[in-house]
Amino acid sequence: MQLIIESLFNGVAIGSVLLIAALGLAIVFGLMGVINLAHGELMMLGAYSTYVTQLIFKLPALKPIYNAYVIVAIGVAFLVSAVVGILLERSVIRRLYGNPLETLLATWGVSLILQQFVRSVPLAYGTGIAIALLTGLILPILLPKNLYKKNRAHLVKFGTWSVSALIGVISSSGLSATISKLGRASARNVDVTAPAWMRGGFELWGITFPMTRLVIIVITGIAVLSVTWFLNRSVWGIRIRAVTQNRSMSDCLGISTETVDVLTFGIGSGLAGVAGVAISLLGSVGPNVGGSYIVGCFMVVVLGGVGNLMGTIIASFCIGIITDLIGAGRLLTIWPQMPAPLASAIDFFATTSMARVLVFALIVIFLQFRPAGLFPQKGRMVEA
Amino acid sequence: MTLLEARNLNTYYGESHILRDVDLSVRHNEMVCLIGRNGVGKTTFLKSLIGLLTPRSGGIFLEGNPLERKPPHQRARLGIGYVPQGREIISHLSVEENLLLGMEALPGGLNQNKKIDSFIYELFPILHKFLARRGGDLSGGQQQQLAIARALLGSPKLLLLDEPTEGIQPNIVQDIETAVKRIILEKGIGVLLVEQHLHFVRQADRYYAMQRGGIVATGQTEDLSQAVVDKFLSV
């Protein structure tokens, strides 16, 4: 019993990390059909946002509420990655819709740029840019509409962007002056330390559940629920689903497909940022951290069936549980009298990296038989 | 003022010239029928009006407003309801969601309009029964009714109907005819109909006949002679 609960918990924990990482991709790749190789780098930005938020919360003024930084970081990471994602969509991907190969190359290029950016630019500058972009995008929503009368619209726009740039410059110089770690560029990995309440474990039925993993499971659960609610119940969800399925007709019905694209991409990228918070709690954060997750993300989305959110959820938990069964050598514990050759084979794969190899091999074999994944789209609309 | 006016419209698919100097107008409260054999450019013309295709030259005016530079969603919001050939129901969405999407064309869009006007169910009672079903699971005739209802929920000034009776069982054809006539009478909108079904064509006030991408004949429908019908309808 204890064994089943423990391996189930570990499997779900591994699955949650995969799921939170793949959730954004399920929207960007699954729903929009955009192959975004920079998705991993958006996660990396989310992880760095967590790091920066943590350092800011160490300042004397915010020290009393230091323990709450993770919750704030989720919001910050979502916004930062969403803004960078929107910028990427508007500047690069928009021009390449319908050209998967070019999109793949262009987004790979963007991923290299982002990696080098965090290596060679001090984090304070990056934060300043993010703050400037964020204020620049949010100010027009806050300002009263009648400011944007025809002849002065350009002037107001110019004004808001200059104000945001100024805010960005001030905050970046302020940050680099007060927090020395943010002031210099560094290619070295950084560590996010979990707040006190997240260390240690939670004991139940003689099993210890590590707190960080529980937190990640909770974050994943909330993210999945809110995405499901958003897509199925909100007005924008209806629009997104309509545009995904029939772009030209949605346009004829009065839906601005461009706005829908920007929003969908922004949400997908924002979720990558949230995933970044989760991975920053698991290990150290470096410029290459996204690369180690991106392949897994694509695997999960393809295995679940492209365009099917439910499939992504189930696929990630399946992979999680199987990885744990193989990686922790649990099969041997379950069946100790296993014949020796089989036992040694299983023992060979009972490490984290070898388990990944085996799981990927299994996925490849599985996809030979079911190329459309676990839950392919069915019905007469598929051909149409 | 004329509701819709197309002037000297020329549309190309790549290098092939499809529409040649098409002039056509629709007034308020009027049903106009565009007839012609398959492949002469009727659907291309409707697509140019809604904005799915961009004419190379010529003008489109809705109550005097030039439309030809506007994307489809703006034309829909200005008052063009489009019921395409093949209906284009969003198949994974429920019937109710499909109807809701029709209200995107209203001022304020879906954010400010959440209630489906019940006159739709008077016109097409079947839709009320199937609200929770997926659009793609309806039969062809039901999908056609849904597509028309969806277009009407945007309170269009002009309704474009592309072969609404194609491949549909006769009793539903009758329902659709009655519904379209009733909308014109009650709402005072204009309808531009592309149709092969002679009985439906006869309901229109005026006709335009198209051949090889150009308008070759026009007049009152009651003057539509058998000779013209034989020439332009593939019945």
Does residue A150 lie within any of the structural domains?
Answer: no
Q: Which of B80, B92, B143, B152 to probe by mutation at the A interface, max A CB count within 10 Å?
A: B92
**CA–CA dist A213, A206 (Å, integer):** 17
Instruction: Take residue A208 and report the two structure tokens written for it.
Output: 């210890």
pTM of the model: 0.85
CA distances from B150 to A164, B111, B120, B146 (A): 43, 17, 9, 6
Question: What would the mean pLDDT of B33-50 be, rounded to a whole number?
Answer: 91
Does residue A382 lie within any of the structural domains?
Answer: no
> Which residues make beta-bridge pairs with B16?
B13
B190-194 sheet: strands from edge to edge: B80-83, B158-162, B190-194, B31-35, B206-211, B214-220
Q: Does the distance separating the beta carbons of B105 and A242 come in below 8 Å?
A: no
pLDDT tens, position by position, A110-147: 999 988 888 888 777 878 888 888 888 887 777 777 76
Q: Note down the domain range covering A26.
A: 2-121+185-369
pLDDT number for residue A378:
55
**Residues of chain A falling short of pLDDT 70:** 147-150, 182-183, 377-384
pLDDT number for residue A183:
67
CA distances from B67 to A112, A331, B160 (A): 43, 68, 15
Other CB atoms within 10 Å distance of the CB of residue A261: 21
Q: Does the distance separating the beta carbons of B154 and A253 come in below 8 Å?
A: yes
Does residue A177 lie within any of the structural domains?
Answer: no
Q: Which of A242, A252, A380 sits opposite B93 (nearest CB)?
A: A242
Does residue A84 lie within any of the structural domains?
Answer: yes
Give chain A's domain count.
1
How high is the mean pLDDT of chain B?
A: 89
Q: Which CATH number covers residue A66?
A: 1.10.3470
pLDDT number for residue A383:
38
pLDDT number for residue A377:
66
Over pLDDT 90: what percentage of chain B? 54
Question: What would the mean pLDDT of B172-179 be, rounded to a whole number?
Answer: 89
All structural domains of chain B: 4-232 (3.40.50.300)
Q: Which of A231, A243, A253 to probe by mutation at the B interface, max B CB count within 10 Å?
A: A253
ipTM above 0.95, yes or no: no
Does residue A60 lie within any of the structural domains?
Answer: yes
> Which residues make beta-bridge pairs with A214?
none
Does residue A158 lie within any of the structural domains?
Answer: no
Q: Which residue of B has its CA nearest to A231?
A: B93
Q: Does the distance separating the beta carbons of A384 and B91 come in below 8 Å?
A: yes
Q: What is the DSSP string of A315-346?
A: HHHHHHHHHHHHHTTHHHHH-TT--HHHHHHH
Q: Which of A235, A241, A254 sits opposite B93 (nearest CB)?
A: A241
pLDDT tens, position by position, B121-149: 998 999 999 999 999 889 888 999 999 99
Does residue A152 lie within any of the structural domains?
Answer: no
pLDDT number for residue A382:
41
Q: Does the distance separating the beta carbons of A254 and B90 come in below 8 Å?
A: no
Does residue A142 lie within any of the structural domains?
Answer: no
Residue B71 pLDDT exceeds 60: yes
pLDDT number for residue A140:
75
3-state SS class at A149? coil
